[in-house]
């Protein structure tokens, strides 16, 4: 289990979720966007909870290892298969999206063929 610290609060979640969340934030950084994600977590009393976060390029997230929930609260780690698959899918989609450089986005007016148009 890892504790995620975000916006002055923290929550406990599975290692795979924490690791995938950090990779997603790093991938979003390159695309200047933001996303809302829902993550399974363990509440203060050991009960399963859902945490919602808005993550984007300016997100400052810390993930640190922590003892297993059984040792602390008597609860078990939440099922994270779906959320990890979702996070990793988003990471893959973001990494496949091409980003144009400034050079690639500058258009050469002479190459557009506007002078060739017969507007008369």
For 1-17, the pLDDT digits (tens) are 899 998 888 999 999 99
SS3 label, residue 10: strand
| pLDDT on residue 96 | 73
97 occurs within a structural domain: yes
Query: Which pTM does this prediction carry?
Result: 0.63
| pLDDT on residue 17 | 92
80 occurs within a structural domain: yes
Confidence of residue 120 (pLDDT cuts 50, 70, 90): low
6 occurs within a structural domain: yes
Range of the domain at 22: 2-105
For the chain, the domain total comes to 1
SS (H, E, C) 27-63: HHHCCCCCEEEEEEEECCCCCEEEEEEEECCCCCCEE
110 occurs within a structural domain: no
For the stretch 22-75, pLDDT in tens is 888 888 877 768 888 889 998 888 888 899 998 888 888 888 877 665 555 555
120 occurs within a structural domain: no
On the question of pLDDT at 85 being above 70, the answer is yes
Q: What CA–CA distances, in Å, run from 22 to 27, 72, 98, 108?
A: 9, 24, 21, 39
């Amino acid at each position: 289990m890892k504790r995620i610290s975000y916006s002055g609060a923290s929550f406990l979640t599975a290692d795979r979720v924490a690791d995938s969340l950090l990779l997603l934030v790093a991938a979003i950084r390159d695309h200047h966007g933001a996303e809302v994600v829902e993550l399974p977590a363990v509440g203060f009393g050991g009960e399963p909870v859902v945490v919602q976060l808005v993550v984007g390029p300016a997100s400052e997230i810390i993930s640190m290892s922590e003892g297993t929930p059984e040792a602390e609260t008597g609860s078990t780690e939440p099922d994270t298969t779906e959320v990890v698959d979702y996070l990793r899918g988003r990471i893959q989609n973001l990494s496949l999206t091409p980003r144009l450089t400034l050079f690639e986005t500058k258009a050469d007016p002479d190459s557009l063929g506007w002078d060739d148009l017969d507007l008369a």
